[in-house]
Amino acid sequence: MLRHPQTQPQAAPHIPNLLSRPPPHKAPHSLQQFLGLALASCNLAQFAAMIKKKTGKSALAYNGYGCHCGWGGSKQPLDATDRCCHAHDCCYKKLVAAGCKPKTTTYKYSFQKNQITCGERNGKPCQKRACECDKRAVECFQRAATVTHLPSHYCKNDCLGEKGIPTPPVLTGESFLLILQVPAQFLAVQ
């Protein structure tokens, strides 16, 4: 009679709770992932629709772009589009400070003749203000028109990106003013 050695029960593999932390700072790979984000942030679908109508681009093109587009934000914005996302983050922070919940607030808006109009006259203030934040961001995206490929790994380090790629220089207001003060003869190409 053959006896089988007794097998020890194995512990179940550890499965991290991915819902307990923010998503990684990179673009979702599918519409299904994007819709999952929309469920976590009710007005994200409205913001995405605004982006598509005004710019003709998918909202996925902006998620994970630069240092401020997508979840969280750090460092200085890297370009005009990233500055739009930074301004949008600041707008939302002001609403939170005023007692609003802009990420979960749904609102009404209309789109006519390429213009976005937020809310109704008697709409709730938080709804209208959340819509205005999104509207300003979308209009900024349209003006910036620079969404190419600027992955968020540029934001990981002050000097070098993840793979040792130098971070693109960003002109601050102060450095830009210094450039303006340089006499013209030093800027002339010879």
Please tell me whether 89 is known to bind a ligand: yes
88 catalytic? Reply is yes
CB 87 within 8 Å of CB 137: yes
Q: Which position among 14, 29, 88, 153 bears the catalytic label? A: 88
Please tell me whether 164 is known to bind a ligand: no
Q: Which position among 82, 134, 153, 158 bears the catalytic label? A: 134
For helices 44-55 and 125-144, what crossing angle results, to 10°?
Answer: 40
Q: Please tell me the distance from the alpha carbon of residue 136 to that of residue 51, in angstroms, as a whole number.
A: 11
Residues in the chain: 190
Q: Please tell me the distance from the alpha carbon of residue 100 to that of residue 92, in angstroms, as a whole number.
A: 9
4 catalytic? Reply is no
- Show binding-site residues for Ca(2+): 70, 72, 89
Annotated binding site: 70, 72, 89
Would you please indicate which residues are annotated as catalytic (active-site) residues? Answer: 88, 134
